[in-house]
Chain A
Protein backbone atom coordinates (compact mmCIF):
# COMPACT_ATOMS: atom_id res chain seq x y z
CA UNK A 1 0.00 0.00 0.00
CA UNK A 2 2.64 2.45 1.12
CA UNK A 3 4.84 1.09 -1.65
CA UNK A 4 2.32 1.77 -4.41
CA UNK A 5 1.49 5.20 -3.03
CA UNK A 6 5.19 5.91 -3.07
CA UNK A 7 5.54 4.68 -6.65
CA UNK A 8 2.63 6.83 -7.71
CA UNK A 9 4.02 9.92 -6.03
CA UNK A 10 7.41 9.21 -7.60
CA UNK A 11 5.89 8.87 -11.07
CA UNK A 12 3.89 12.06 -10.62
CA UNK A 13 6.92 13.98 -9.52
CA UNK A 14 8.93 12.66 -12.49
CA UNK A 15 6.10 13.58 -14.81
CA UNK A 16 5.68 17.07 -13.43
CA UNK A 17 9.36 17.82 -14.00
CA UNK A 18 9.28 16.26 -17.44
CA UNK A 19 12.10 17.94 -19.31
CA UNK A 20 14.39 17.85 -16.31
CA UNK A 21 13.71 14.15 -15.81
CA UNK A 22 14.35 13.46 -19.48
CA UNK A 23 17.66 15.31 -19.46
CA UNK A 24 18.72 13.44 -16.35
CA UNK A 25 17.77 10.21 -18.10
CA UNK A 26 19.68 10.98 -21.27
CA UNK A 27 22.95 9.49 -20.08
CA UNK A 28 21.20 6.28 -19.11
CA UNK A 29 19.35 6.18 -22.43
CA UNK A 30 22.58 6.48 -24.38
CA UNK A 31 24.40 4.08 -22.07
CA UNK A 32 21.75 1.38 -22.20
CA UNK A 33 21.35 1.95 -25.93
CA UNK A 34 25.06 1.32 -26.36
CA UNK A 35 24.91 -1.79 -24.16
CA UNK A 36 21.99 -3.21 -26.10
CA UNK A 37 23.47 -2.56 -29.53
CA UNK A 38 26.88 -3.80 -28.36
CA UNK A 39 25.43 -7.06 -27.15
CA UNK A 40 23.37 -7.37 -30.32
CA UNK A 41 26.45 -6.97 -32.50
CA UNK A 42 28.39 -9.38 -30.32
CA UNK A 43 25.64 -11.97 -30.41
CA UNK A 44 25.29 -11.49 -34.15
CA UNK A 45 29.00 -12.10 -34.72
CA UNK A 46 28.89 -15.10 -32.44
CA UNK A 47 25.92 -16.51 -34.30
CA UNK A 48 27.67 -16.03 -37.61
CA UNK A 49 30.77 -17.83 -36.37
CA UNK A 50 28.81 -20.72 -34.97
CA UNK A 51 26.78 -21.02 -38.11
CA UNK A 52 29.82 -21.04 -40.35
CA UNK A 53 31.71 -23.50 -38.23
CA UNK A 54 28.78 -25.86 -38.37
CA UNK A 55 28.39 -25.25 -42.12
CA UNK A 56 31.99 -25.86 -42.98
CA UNK A 57 32.68 -28.60 -40.55
CA UNK A 58 35.15 -28.37 -37.76
CA UNK A 59 37.90 -30.25 -39.53
CA UNK A 60 39.06 -27.39 -41.72
CA UNK A 61 42.38 -25.71 -40.97
CA UNK A 62 44.02 -22.78 -42.66
CA UNK A 63 47.77 -22.20 -42.82
CA UNK A 64 48.87 -18.61 -43.27
CA UNK A 65 52.15 -16.76 -43.02
CA UNK A 66 52.66 -14.94 -39.74
CA UNK A 67 51.93 -11.26 -40.15
CA UNK A 68 55.22 -9.46 -39.93
CA UNK A 69 55.40 -6.86 -37.23
CA UNK A 70 59.02 -5.94 -37.54
CA UNK A 71 58.73 -4.38 -40.95
CA UNK A 72 57.24 -0.98 -41.70
CA UNK A 73 53.61 -1.56 -42.48
CA UNK A 74 52.27 -3.53 -39.57
CA UNK A 75 50.25 -6.52 -40.58
CA UNK A 76 51.61 -6.81 -44.11
CA UNK A 77 51.50 -10.49 -44.97
CA UNK A 78 54.75 -12.23 -45.71
CA UNK A 79 54.87 -14.58 -48.61
CA UNK A 80 56.72 -17.65 -47.54
CA UNK A 81 54.47 -20.58 -48.29
CA UNK A 82 55.23 -22.63 -51.36
CA UNK A 83 53.53 -25.32 -53.35
CA UNK A 84 56.08 -27.72 -51.91
CA UNK A 85 54.89 -26.80 -48.42
CA UNK A 86 51.36 -27.67 -49.47
CA UNK A 87 52.54 -30.87 -51.06
CA UNK A 88 54.50 -31.86 -47.96
CA UNK A 89 51.41 -31.69 -45.77
CA UNK A 90 49.85 -34.56 -47.66
CA UNK A 91 52.40 -36.79 -45.93
CA UNK A 92 50.55 -36.29 -42.65
CA UNK A 93 48.31 -39.34 -42.36
CA UNK A 94 45.25 -37.66 -40.82
CA UNK A 95 45.05 -35.01 -43.53
CA UNK A 96 42.53 -35.77 -46.22
CA UNK A 97 42.90 -32.82 -48.55
CA UNK A 98 45.13 -29.83 -49.12
CA UNK A 99 44.34 -26.80 -51.26
CA UNK A 100 46.95 -24.14 -52.03
CA UNK A 101 45.46 -20.67 -52.52
CA UNK A 102 46.67 -17.55 -54.29
CA UNK A 103 44.57 -14.43 -54.41
CA UNK A 104 44.31 -11.23 -56.34
CA UNK A 105 41.79 -8.54 -57.09
CA UNK A 106 40.88 -7.71 -60.61
CA UNK A 107 38.43 -6.44 -63.19
CA UNK A 108 36.42 -9.06 -65.00
CA UNK A 109 35.16 -8.17 -68.44
CA UNK A 110 32.58 -9.73 -70.66
CA UNK A 111 32.21 -7.61 -73.76
CA UNK A 112 31.09 -4.24 -72.44
CA UNK A 113 30.23 -5.55 -68.97
CA UNK A 114 32.75 -4.90 -66.27
CA UNK A 115 32.85 -5.96 -62.62
CA UNK A 116 35.43 -6.13 -59.84
CA UNK A 117 36.03 -9.53 -58.31
CA UNK A 118 38.46 -11.42 -56.14
CA UNK A 119 40.52 -13.88 -58.15
CA UNK A 120 41.18 -17.15 -56.39
CA UNK A 121 43.73 -19.51 -57.82
CA UNK A 122 43.53 -22.91 -56.24
CA UNK A 123 43.28 -26.67 -56.69
CA UNK A 124 40.21 -28.83 -57.18
CA UNK A 125 40.28 -29.69 -53.50
CA UNK A 126 39.32 -26.10 -52.62
CA UNK A 127 35.75 -26.80 -53.65
CA UNK A 128 35.45 -29.58 -51.10
CA UNK A 129 37.37 -27.88 -48.27
CA UNK A 130 35.09 -24.85 -48.62
CA UNK A 131 31.97 -26.91 -49.41
CA UNK A 132 31.40 -25.03 -52.65
CA UNK A 133 28.99 -26.50 -55.15
CA UNK A 134 28.09 -25.47 -58.63
CA UNK A 135 24.63 -24.25 -59.43
CA UNK A 136 25.20 -25.10 -63.06
CA UNK A 137 28.14 -26.44 -65.02
CA UNK A 138 31.08 -28.10 -63.32
CA UNK A 139 34.26 -27.38 -61.41
CA UNK A 140 37.62 -27.71 -63.11
CA UNK A 141 39.50 -31.00 -63.08
CA UNK A 142 42.96 -32.04 -61.99
CA UNK A 143 43.84 -32.51 -65.61
CA UNK A 144 42.85 -28.94 -66.42
CA UNK A 145 44.90 -27.78 -63.45
CA UNK A 146 47.92 -29.72 -64.51
CA UNK A 147 47.73 -28.40 -68.05
CA UNK A 148 47.21 -24.82 -66.86
CA UNK A 149 44.00 -24.55 -68.84
CA UNK A 150 42.15 -21.27 -68.87
CA UNK A 151 38.91 -22.32 -67.30
CA UNK A 152 37.00 -20.49 -64.61
CA UNK A 153 34.22 -21.12 -62.14
CA UNK A 154 32.40 -17.88 -61.29
CA UNK A 155 30.39 -16.71 -58.32
CA UNK A 156 26.63 -16.25 -58.55
CA UNK A 157 26.56 -12.49 -57.97
CA UNK A 158 29.25 -11.98 -60.54
CA UNK A 159 27.39 -14.15 -63.03
CA UNK A 160 24.34 -11.93 -62.79
CA UNK A 161 26.38 -8.75 -62.97
CA UNK A 162 28.30 -9.78 -66.06
CA UNK A 163 25.88 -11.84 -68.03
CA UNK A 164 22.44 -10.58 -67.11
CA UNK A 165 20.23 -12.94 -69.17
CA UNK A 166 22.94 -14.57 -71.30
CA UNK A 167 23.98 -18.10 -70.38
CA UNK A 168 27.54 -17.77 -69.04
CA UNK A 169 28.49 -21.41 -69.62
CA UNK A 170 30.98 -21.71 -72.46
CA UNK A 171 31.41 -17.95 -72.76
CA UNK A 172 34.81 -16.35 -72.54
CA UNK A 173 35.50 -13.70 -69.94
CA UNK A 174 38.57 -11.56 -69.59
CA UNK A 175 40.32 -11.61 -66.21
CA UNK A 176 43.04 -8.99 -65.91
CA UNK A 177 43.56 -9.18 -69.64
CA UNK A 178 43.59 -12.98 -69.96
CA UNK A 179 40.74 -14.92 -71.56
CA UNK A 180 39.06 -17.71 -69.60
CA UNK A 181 36.22 -20.01 -70.48
CA UNK A 182 33.38 -20.19 -67.96
CA UNK A 183 32.72 -23.82 -67.05
CA UNK A 184 30.67 -23.47 -63.90
CA UNK A 185 28.58 -21.12 -61.74
CA UNK A 186 28.66 -21.48 -57.98
CA UNK A 187 25.63 -21.69 -55.76
CA UNK A 188 25.01 -18.45 -53.85
CA UNK A 189 26.51 -18.45 -50.33
CA UNK A 190 25.68 -15.02 -49.02
CA UNK A 191 28.98 -14.68 -47.18
CA UNK A 192 30.85 -11.50 -46.69
CA UNK A 193 34.38 -12.43 -45.69
CA UNK A 194 37.38 -12.03 -47.91
CA UNK A 195 36.85 -15.29 -49.76
CA UNK A 196 33.27 -14.45 -50.57
CA UNK A 197 32.70 -16.89 -53.42
CA UNK A 198 29.64 -15.03 -54.71
CA UNK A 199 31.84 -12.23 -55.98
CA UNK A 200 34.83 -14.35 -57.02
CA UNK A 201 36.33 -16.14 -59.96
CA UNK A 202 38.05 -19.43 -59.21
CA UNK A 203 40.74 -20.56 -61.60
CA UNK A 204 43.39 -23.32 -61.46
CA UNK A 205 46.33 -22.14 -59.34
CA UNK A 206 48.73 -23.11 -62.09
CA UNK A 207 47.31 -20.54 -64.49
CA UNK A 208 46.88 -17.98 -61.76
CA UNK A 209 50.46 -18.20 -60.56
CA UNK A 210 52.25 -18.48 -63.88
CA UNK A 211 50.15 -16.45 -66.27
CA UNK A 212 48.34 -13.92 -64.16
CA UNK A 213 50.23 -13.08 -61.04
CA UNK A 214 53.70 -14.24 -61.88
CA UNK A 215 53.87 -15.61 -58.38
CA UNK A 216 56.01 -18.39 -56.96
CA UNK A 217 54.59 -18.27 -53.47
CA UNK A 218 51.10 -19.09 -52.31
CA UNK A 219 49.12 -17.15 -49.71
CA UNK A 220 47.16 -19.78 -47.79
CA UNK A 221 46.86 -23.47 -47.57
CA UNK A 222 43.49 -24.99 -46.78
CA UNK A 223 43.75 -28.31 -45.00
CA UNK A 224 40.90 -30.71 -44.42
CA UNK A 225 41.38 -33.41 -41.84
CA UNK A 226 40.00 -36.90 -42.29
CA UNK A 227 36.70 -37.84 -40.62
CA UNK A 228 36.95 -37.94 -36.82
CA UNK A 229 40.57 -36.83 -36.88
CA UNK A 230 42.30 -35.22 -33.92
CA UNK A 231 42.53 -31.58 -34.96
CA UNK A 232 45.03 -30.64 -32.27
CA UNK A 233 47.34 -33.42 -33.38
CA UNK A 234 47.02 -32.30 -36.98
CA UNK A 235 47.80 -28.73 -36.03
CA UNK A 236 50.96 -29.96 -34.28
CA UNK A 237 51.95 -32.16 -37.20
CA UNK A 238 51.53 -29.29 -39.65
CA UNK A 239 53.64 -27.06 -37.44
CA UNK A 240 56.43 -29.65 -37.26
CA UNK A 241 56.29 -30.33 -40.99
CA UNK A 242 56.40 -26.70 -42.01
CA UNK A 243 59.18 -25.85 -39.57
CA UNK A 244 61.16 -28.60 -41.25
CA UNK A 245 60.23 -27.32 -44.70
CA UNK A 246 61.27 -23.79 -43.76
CA UNK A 247 64.45 -24.97 -42.05
CA UNK A 248 63.60 -23.10 -38.87
CA UNK A 249 66.07 -23.36 -36.02
CA UNK A 250 64.65 -24.63 -32.74
CA UNK A 251 64.77 -21.17 -31.12
CA UNK A 252 63.11 -19.24 -33.96
CA UNK A 253 59.41 -18.50 -33.97
CA UNK A 254 57.09 -19.99 -36.54
CA UNK A 255 56.84 -17.91 -39.69
CA UNK A 256 53.37 -19.28 -40.30
CA UNK A 257 50.21 -19.83 -38.32
CA UNK A 258 47.70 -22.63 -38.31
CA UNK A 259 44.14 -21.51 -37.66
CA UNK A 260 41.19 -23.72 -37.03
CA UNK A 261 37.79 -22.65 -38.32
CA UNK A 262 36.63 -20.94 -35.17
CA UNK A 263 39.84 -18.92 -34.87
CA UNK A 264 39.67 -18.08 -38.53
CA UNK A 265 36.18 -16.72 -38.29
CA UNK A 266 36.97 -14.85 -35.15
CA UNK A 267 39.68 -13.04 -37.06
CA UNK A 268 37.12 -12.31 -39.70
CA UNK A 269 34.81 -10.79 -37.13
CA UNK A 270 37.55 -8.57 -35.73
CA UNK A 271 35.72 -5.53 -37.02
CA UNK A 272 32.62 -6.39 -35.09
CA UNK A 273 34.79 -6.83 -32.03
CA UNK A 274 36.07 -3.31 -32.54
CA UNK A 275 32.44 -2.24 -32.61
CA UNK A 276 31.87 -4.09 -29.37
CA UNK A 277 34.78 -2.41 -27.62
CA UNK A 278 33.76 1.00 -28.88
CA UNK A 279 30.14 0.61 -27.85
CA UNK A 280 31.22 -0.93 -24.56
CA UNK A 281 33.27 2.10 -23.62
CA UNK A 282 30.51 4.47 -24.71
CA UNK A 283 28.15 2.42 -22.54
CA UNK A 284 30.41 2.54 -19.51
CA UNK A 285 31.06 6.27 -19.72
CA UNK A 286 27.43 7.10 -20.42
CA UNK A 287 26.25 5.05 -17.48
CA UNK A 288 28.54 6.96 -15.12
CA UNK A 289 27.59 10.31 -16.63
CA UNK A 290 23.93 9.28 -16.57
CA UNK A 291 24.23 8.22 -12.95
CA UNK A 292 25.75 11.56 -12.03
CA UNK A 293 22.93 13.31 -13.91
CA UNK A 294 20.39 11.40 -11.89
CA UNK A 295 22.21 12.09 -8.65
CA UNK A 296 22.27 15.77 -9.49
CA UNK A 297 18.58 15.82 -10.22
CA UNK A 298 17.76 13.89 -7.06
CA UNK A 299 19.81 16.27 -4.91
CA UNK A 300 17.88 19.15 -6.45
CA UNK A 301 14.59 17.35 -5.87
CA UNK A 302 15.45 16.66 -2.25
CA UNK A 303 16.31 20.26 -1.55
CA UNK A 304 13.17 21.48 -3.33
CA UNK A 305 11.02 19.14 -1.32
CA UNK A 306 12.64 19.69 2.04
CA UNK A 307 9.39 20.94 3.52
CA UNK A 308 7.50 17.93 2.23
CA UNK A 309 10.11 15.71 3.87
CA UNK A 310 9.58 17.60 7.14
CA UNK A 311 5.81 17.09 6.92
CA UNK A 312 6.20 13.41 6.15
CA UNK A 313 8.46 12.99 9.14
CA UNK A 314 6.14 14.96 11.42
CA UNK A 315 3.18 12.77 10.57
CA UNK A 316 5.12 9.63 11.37
CA UNK A 317 7.36 8.85 8.40
CA UNK A 318 10.45 6.95 9.47
CA UNK A 319 13.89 7.72 8.04
CA UNK A 320 13.69 4.51 6.08
CA UNK A 321 10.33 5.54 4.58
CA UNK A 322 11.89 8.75 3.30
CA UNK A 323 14.98 6.89 2.09
CA UNK A 324 12.85 4.38 0.25
CA UNK A 325 10.74 7.07 -1.34
CA UNK A 326 13.63 8.95 -2.90
CA UNK A 327 15.53 5.80 -3.75
CA UNK A 328 12.45 4.51 -5.53
CA UNK A 329 12.22 7.76 -7.42
CA UNK A 330 15.79 7.51 -8.67
CA UNK A 331 15.35 3.83 -9.52
CA UNK A 332 12.19 4.66 -11.44
CA UNK A 333 13.90 7.39 -13.40
CA UNK A 334 16.88 5.22 -14.25
CA UNK A 335 14.67 2.27 -15.17
CA UNK A 336 12.55 4.50 -17.36
CA UNK A 337 15.77 5.68 -18.94
CA UNK A 338 16.72 2.03 -19.29
CA UNK A 339 13.51 1.19 -21.12
CA UNK A 340 13.93 4.14 -23.49
CA UNK A 341 17.56 3.07 -23.89
CA UNK A 342 16.48 -0.44 -24.85
CA UNK A 343 14.23 0.98 -27.54
CA UNK A 344 17.04 3.24 -28.70
CA UNK A 345 19.55 0.38 -28.64
CA UNK A 346 17.28 -1.86 -30.71
CA UNK A 347 17.05 0.96 -33.23
CA UNK A 348 20.83 1.27 -33.32
CA UNK A 349 21.19 -2.49 -33.76
CA UNK A 350 18.78 -2.47 -36.69
CA UNK A 351 20.68 0.46 -38.18
CA UNK A 352 24.02 -1.35 -37.79
CA UNK A 353 22.60 -4.40 -39.48
CA UNK A 354 21.12 -2.43 -42.37
CA UNK A 355 23.80 0.16 -42.97
CA UNK A 356 27.02 -1.46 -41.83
CA UNK A 357 26.04 -4.97 -42.81
CA UNK A 358 26.90 -6.68 -39.55
CA UNK A 359 24.42 -9.24 -38.39
CA UNK A 360 22.83 -8.41 -35.03
CA UNK A 361 20.86 -10.57 -32.66
CA UNK A 362 18.70 -9.08 -29.90
CA UNK A 363 18.63 -11.40 -26.94
CA UNK A 364 16.17 -11.36 -24.06
CA UNK A 365 19.12 -11.72 -21.72
CA UNK A 366 20.69 -8.49 -22.84
CA UNK A 367 17.44 -6.64 -22.26
CA UNK A 368 17.27 -8.07 -18.76
CA UNK A 369 20.91 -7.19 -18.27
CA UNK A 370 20.24 -3.60 -19.35
CA UNK A 371 17.34 -3.33 -16.89
CA UNK A 372 19.47 -4.70 -14.08
CA UNK A 373 22.28 -2.29 -14.94
CA UNK A 374 19.97 0.70 -14.95
CA UNK A 375 18.38 -0.34 -11.67
CA UNK A 376 21.85 -0.67 -10.20
CA UNK A 377 22.76 2.80 -11.45
CA UNK A 378 19.55 4.16 -9.90
CA UNK A 379 20.35 2.57 -6.55
CA UNK A 380 24.01 3.51 -6.59
CA UNK A 381 23.61 7.14 -7.59
CA UNK A 382 20.26 7.65 -5.88
CA UNK A 383 21.39 6.41 -2.51
CA UNK A 384 23.29 9.48 -1.39
CA UNK A 385 20.51 11.99 -2.18
CA UNK A 386 17.94 9.69 -0.57
CA UNK A 387 20.14 9.26 2.47
CA UNK A 388 20.50 13.03 2.76
CA UNK A 389 16.73 13.35 2.60
CA UNK A 390 16.28 10.71 5.28
CA UNK A 391 18.75 12.39 7.61
CA UNK A 392 17.03 15.80 7.52
CA UNK A 393 16.01 17.15 10.88
CA UNK A 394 12.19 17.42 10.84
CA UNK A 395 12.18 20.77 12.64
CA UNK A 396 14.67 22.31 10.22
CA UNK A 397 12.86 20.77 7.28
CA UNK A 398 9.47 22.12 8.38
CA UNK A 399 10.89 25.60 8.77
CA UNK A 400 12.31 25.51 5.23
CA UNK A 401 10.58 27.85 2.81
Chain B
Protein backbone atom coordinates (compact mmCIF):
# COMPACT_ATOMS: atom_id res chain seq x y z
CA UNK B 1 0.00 0.00 0.00
CA UNK B 2 2.78 2.39 1.01
CA UNK B 3 6.16 2.09 -0.60
CA UNK B 4 8.95 4.56 0.13
CA UNK B 5 12.34 4.27 -1.51
CA UNK B 6 15.35 6.40 -0.68
CA UNK B 7 13.22 9.32 0.41
CA UNK B 8 15.27 12.41 1.18
CA UNK B 9 14.19 15.79 2.44
CA UNK B 10 16.42 18.71 3.31
CA UNK B 11 15.45 22.06 4.74
CA UNK B 12 17.75 24.95 3.93
CA UNK B 13 18.39 26.94 7.08
CA UNK B 14 20.53 29.95 7.80
CA UNK B 15 22.83 27.85 9.95
CA UNK B 16 23.19 25.34 7.14
CA UNK B 17 20.95 22.69 5.66
CA UNK B 18 19.00 20.41 7.96
CA UNK B 19 18.84 16.86 6.62
CA UNK B 20 15.46 15.79 7.94
CA UNK B 21 15.23 12.53 6.00
CA UNK B 22 18.32 10.86 4.62
CA UNK B 23 17.16 7.96 2.55
CA UNK B 24 14.10 6.37 4.13
CA UNK B 25 12.96 2.99 2.82
CA UNK B 26 9.64 1.76 4.03
CA UNK B 27 6.93 -0.69 3.01
CA UNK B 28 3.55 -0.86 4.62
CA UNK B 29 1.17 -3.52 3.41
CA UNK B 30 -2.55 -3.22 2.97
CA UNK B 31 -4.35 -3.80 6.25
CA UNK B 32 -1.34 -3.24 8.46
CA UNK B 33 -1.40 -1.18 11.64
CA UNK B 34 1.96 0.46 12.06
CA UNK B 35 3.44 2.86 14.59
CA UNK B 36 6.08 5.36 13.56
CA UNK B 37 8.10 6.49 16.55
CA UNK B 38 11.20 8.45 17.18
CA UNK B 39 12.50 11.23 19.36
CA UNK B 40 11.93 14.83 18.37
CA UNK B 41 14.25 15.85 15.58
CA UNK B 42 14.32 12.33 14.21
CA UNK B 43 12.42 13.35 11.07
CA UNK B 44 9.15 11.85 12.26
CA UNK B 45 7.04 14.88 11.40
CA UNK B 46 8.67 15.33 8.02
CA UNK B 47 8.02 11.69 7.21
CA UNK B 48 4.41 12.03 8.28
CA UNK B 49 3.97 15.11 6.09
CA UNK B 50 5.33 13.21 3.11
CA UNK B 51 3.24 10.11 3.87
CA UNK B 52 0.20 12.38 4.15
CA UNK B 53 0.99 14.04 0.82
CA UNK B 54 1.22 17.43 2.49
CA UNK B 55 4.68 17.87 1.03
CA UNK B 56 6.88 16.20 -1.54
CA UNK B 57 10.29 14.62 -0.97
CA UNK B 58 13.39 16.18 -2.53
CA UNK B 59 14.32 12.82 -4.01
CA UNK B 60 13.25 9.20 -3.85
CA UNK B 61 9.97 7.64 -4.82
CA UNK B 62 6.74 7.29 -2.91
CA UNK B 63 4.09 4.96 -4.24
CA UNK B 64 0.70 5.06 -2.56
CA UNK B 65 -1.73 2.32 -3.57
CA UNK B 66 0.36 1.70 -6.65
CA UNK B 67 0.37 5.33 -7.71
CA UNK B 68 3.55 7.38 -7.89
CA UNK B 69 2.94 10.49 -5.78
CA UNK B 70 6.42 11.85 -5.16
CA UNK B 71 6.46 14.48 -7.89
CA UNK B 72 3.00 15.98 -7.91
CA UNK B 73 1.82 19.58 -7.95
CA UNK B 74 0.05 21.10 -4.96
CA UNK B 75 -3.26 20.64 -6.69
CA UNK B 76 -2.62 16.99 -7.52
CA UNK B 77 -1.50 16.39 -3.93
CA UNK B 78 -4.77 17.87 -2.71
CA UNK B 79 -6.65 15.45 -4.91
CA UNK B 80 -4.61 12.52 -3.56
CA UNK B 81 -5.25 13.66 -0.01
CA UNK B 82 -8.95 13.86 -0.61
CA UNK B 83 -9.12 10.36 -2.18
CA UNK B 84 -6.40 8.37 -0.46
CA UNK B 85 -5.64 9.76 2.96
CA UNK B 86 -7.61 10.18 6.15
CA UNK B 87 -5.98 12.47 8.70
CA UNK B 88 -6.44 12.25 12.45
CA UNK B 89 -4.76 15.04 14.39
CA UNK B 90 -3.62 15.31 17.98
CA UNK B 91 -5.91 18.26 18.66
CA UNK B 92 -8.81 16.90 16.57
CA UNK B 93 -8.94 19.99 14.33
CA UNK B 94 -12.67 19.89 13.85
CA UNK B 95 -14.17 22.99 12.29
CA UNK B 96 -15.93 24.77 15.15
CA UNK B 97 -18.75 26.24 13.08
CA UNK B 98 -19.82 22.89 11.63
CA UNK B 99 -21.65 20.19 13.56
CA UNK B 100 -20.35 16.62 13.76
CA UNK B 101 -22.21 15.52 10.65
CA UNK B 102 -21.07 18.51 8.60
CA UNK B 103 -17.49 18.03 9.74
CA UNK B 104 -17.58 14.42 8.61
CA UNK B 105 -19.28 15.33 5.35
CA UNK B 106 -16.70 17.93 4.37
CA UNK B 107 -14.08 15.58 2.83
CA UNK B 108 -16.81 14.13 0.62
CA UNK B 109 -17.73 17.59 -0.57
CA UNK B 110 -14.10 18.41 -1.30
CA UNK B 111 -13.80 15.12 -3.19
CA UNK B 112 -16.90 16.21 -5.16
CA UNK B 113 -18.60 13.01 -3.95
CA UNK B 114 -21.82 14.84 -3.21
CA UNK B 115 -24.26 12.06 -4.04
CA UNK B 116 -25.41 10.53 -0.76
CA UNK B 117 -22.75 12.43 1.15
CA UNK B 118 -24.99 13.02 4.15
CA UNK B 119 -25.82 9.31 4.43
CA UNK B 120 -22.20 8.29 4.14
CA UNK B 121 -21.24 10.83 6.79
CA UNK B 122 -24.00 9.52 9.07
CA UNK B 123 -22.73 5.98 8.52
CA UNK B 124 -19.20 6.94 9.43
CA UNK B 125 -20.44 8.55 12.65
CA UNK B 126 -22.40 5.38 13.44
CA UNK B 127 -19.25 3.39 12.84
CA UNK B 128 -17.38 5.35 15.53
CA UNK B 129 -20.32 5.07 17.92
CA UNK B 130 -21.63 8.64 17.71
CA UNK B 131 -24.96 8.02 15.98
CA UNK B 132 -26.65 10.08 18.70
CA UNK B 133 -24.32 13.07 18.41
CA UNK B 134 -24.62 14.00 14.75
CA UNK B 135 -26.13 17.44 15.39
CA UNK B 136 -23.68 18.37 18.12
CA UNK B 137 -21.06 21.00 17.58
CA UNK B 138 -17.45 20.37 18.58
CA UNK B 139 -17.75 22.56 21.68
CA UNK B 140 -20.63 20.38 22.87
CA UNK B 141 -18.56 17.19 22.67
CA UNK B 142 -15.91 15.74 24.98
CA UNK B 143 -12.33 15.33 23.82
CA UNK B 144 -12.83 11.64 23.18
CA UNK B 145 -16.01 12.28 21.22
CA UNK B 146 -14.27 14.96 19.18
CA UNK B 147 -11.52 12.52 18.30
CA UNK B 148 -14.13 9.98 17.25
CA UNK B 149 -15.71 12.57 14.97
CA UNK B 150 -12.26 13.26 13.58
CA UNK B 151 -11.74 9.52 12.97
CA UNK B 152 -15.13 9.32 11.26
CA UNK B 153 -14.05 12.26 9.08
CA UNK B 154 -10.81 10.41 8.28
CA UNK B 155 -12.51 7.20 7.18
CA UNK B 156 -15.59 8.61 5.43
CA UNK B 157 -13.83 8.72 2.07
CA UNK B 158 -12.68 5.10 2.31
CA UNK B 159 -9.04 6.23 2.15
CA UNK B 160 -6.10 3.95 1.37
CA UNK B 161 -4.44 4.89 4.64
CA UNK B 162 -5.54 6.48 7.87
CA UNK B 163 -2.72 8.64 9.13
CA UNK B 164 -2.95 9.56 12.80
CA UNK B 165 -0.60 12.06 14.38
CA UNK B 166 -0.45 11.51 18.16
CA UNK B 167 -4.16 10.65 18.19
CA UNK B 168 -4.14 10.05 21.95
CA UNK B 169 -1.89 12.96 22.84
CA UNK B 170 -4.66 15.29 23.94
CA UNK B 171 -6.92 12.93 25.87
CA UNK B 172 -6.72 11.16 29.24
CA UNK B 173 -5.57 7.57 29.51
CA UNK B 174 -9.05 6.04 29.73
CA UNK B 175 -10.22 7.89 26.60
CA UNK B 176 -6.91 7.03 25.02
CA UNK B 177 -7.70 3.34 25.47
CA UNK B 178 -11.15 3.87 23.89
CA UNK B 179 -9.58 5.48 20.89
CA UNK B 180 -7.01 2.73 20.50
CA UNK B 181 -9.84 0.20 20.71
CA UNK B 182 -11.54 2.02 17.87
CA UNK B 183 -8.35 1.90 15.81
CA UNK B 184 -8.04 -1.82 16.54
CA UNK B 185 -11.54 -2.48 15.34
CA UNK B 186 -10.95 -0.44 12.18
CA UNK B 187 -7.78 -2.45 11.68
CA UNK B 188 -9.79 -5.60 12.12
CA UNK B 189 -11.97 -4.45 9.23
CA UNK B 190 -8.89 -4.46 7.06
CA UNK B 191 -8.00 -0.79 7.06
CA UNK B 192 -4.42 0.38 6.83
CA UNK B 193 -3.53 2.54 9.81
CA UNK B 194 -0.34 4.49 10.47
CA UNK B 195 0.02 6.06 13.89
CA UNK B 196 2.78 8.56 14.51
CA UNK B 197 3.45 8.68 18.25
CA UNK B 198 6.08 8.88 20.92
CA UNK B 199 3.82 7.10 23.40
CA UNK B 200 5.40 3.66 23.84
CA UNK B 201 2.15 2.26 25.20
CA UNK B 202 0.36 3.20 21.98
CA UNK B 203 3.22 2.07 19.76
CA UNK B 204 3.36 -1.30 21.47
CA UNK B 205 -0.26 -1.98 20.53
CA UNK B 206 0.52 -1.78 16.83
CA UNK B 207 1.55 -4.72 14.70
CA UNK B 208 4.98 -3.29 14.24
CA UNK B 209 7.00 -0.19 15.02
CA UNK B 210 9.08 1.84 12.68
CA UNK B 211 11.66 3.80 14.62
CA UNK B 212 13.23 6.85 13.08
CA UNK B 213 16.56 8.16 14.17
CA UNK B 214 18.51 10.96 12.52
CA UNK B 215 16.45 10.77 9.39
CA UNK B 216 16.66 7.04 8.75
CA UNK B 217 14.75 3.96 9.83
CA UNK B 218 16.88 2.26 12.47
CA UNK B 219 14.97 -0.81 13.53
CA UNK B 220 12.97 -2.35 10.76
CA UNK B 221 9.89 -3.92 12.23
CA UNK B 222 8.88 -7.47 11.51
CA UNK B 223 7.69 -7.93 7.96
CA UNK B 224 9.39 -4.73 6.84
CA UNK B 225 12.38 -4.59 4.60
CA UNK B 226 14.79 -1.78 4.09
Identify the A interface with B (CB < 8 A): 1-2, 5, 9, 12-13, 16, 307-308, 310-319, 321, 394-395, 398
Contacting residues, chain A, for B112 (C-beta < 8 A): 2
Confirm or deny: B141 has a beta carbon within 8 angstroms of a beta carbon on chain A: no
Interface residues on B, range: 20 to 34
The CA-CA distance from A394 to B114 in the complex, in Å, is 24
The CA-CA distance from A44 to B82 in the complex, in Å, is 57
Contact across chains for B97 and A398 when beta carbons are under 8 A apart: no
Contacting residues, chain A, for B93 (C-beta < 8 A): 307, 310-311, 314, 398
Contacting residues, chain A, for B87 (C-beta < 8 A): 314-315
Chain B 62-101 interface mask (CB, 8 Å, partner A; 1/0): 0000000000001100110111000101000101011000
Contact across chains for B114 and A312 when beta carbons are under 8 A apart: no
Contact across chains for B82 and A315 when beta carbons are under 8 A apart: yes
Confirm or deny: B25 has a beta carbon within 8 angstroms of a beta carbon on chain A: no
Contact across chains for A5 and B102 when beta carbons are under 8 A apart: yes
**What are the 6 closest A-B residue pairs judged by CB atoms, nearest first?**
A316-B82, A316-B110, A2-B109, A1-B114, A311-B93, A315-B107
Confirm or deny: B54 has a beta carbon within 8 angstroms of a beta carbon on chain A: yes
Given A1-B114, A5-B105, A308-B95, 14 more pairs with CB closer than 8 A: A5-B109, A9-B95, A9-B98, A311-B95, A312-B106, A312-B110, A313-B54, A313-B78, A314-B87, A315-B87, A315-B153, A316-B157, A318-B75, A319-B75
Contact across chains for A317 and B78 when beta carbons are under 8 A apart: yes
Chain B 32-60 interface mask (CB, 8 Å, partner A; 1/0): 00000000000000000100101100000
Residue of B79, B81, B157 most packed against chain A (CB within 10 A) = B81
Contact across chains for A317 and B97 when beta carbons are under 8 A apart: no
Residue of A308, A311, A314, A317 most packed against chain B (CB within 10 A) = A314
Contact across chains for A398 and B89 when beta carbons are under 8 A apart: yes
Contact across chains for B78 and A316 when beta carbons are under 8 A apart: yes
**Given A5-B109, A315-B106, A317-B78, A13–B95 Cβ distance below 8 Å?**
no
The CA-CA distance from A325 to B82 in the complex, in Å, is 17
Contacting residues, chain A, for B89 (C-beta < 8 A): 311, 314, 398
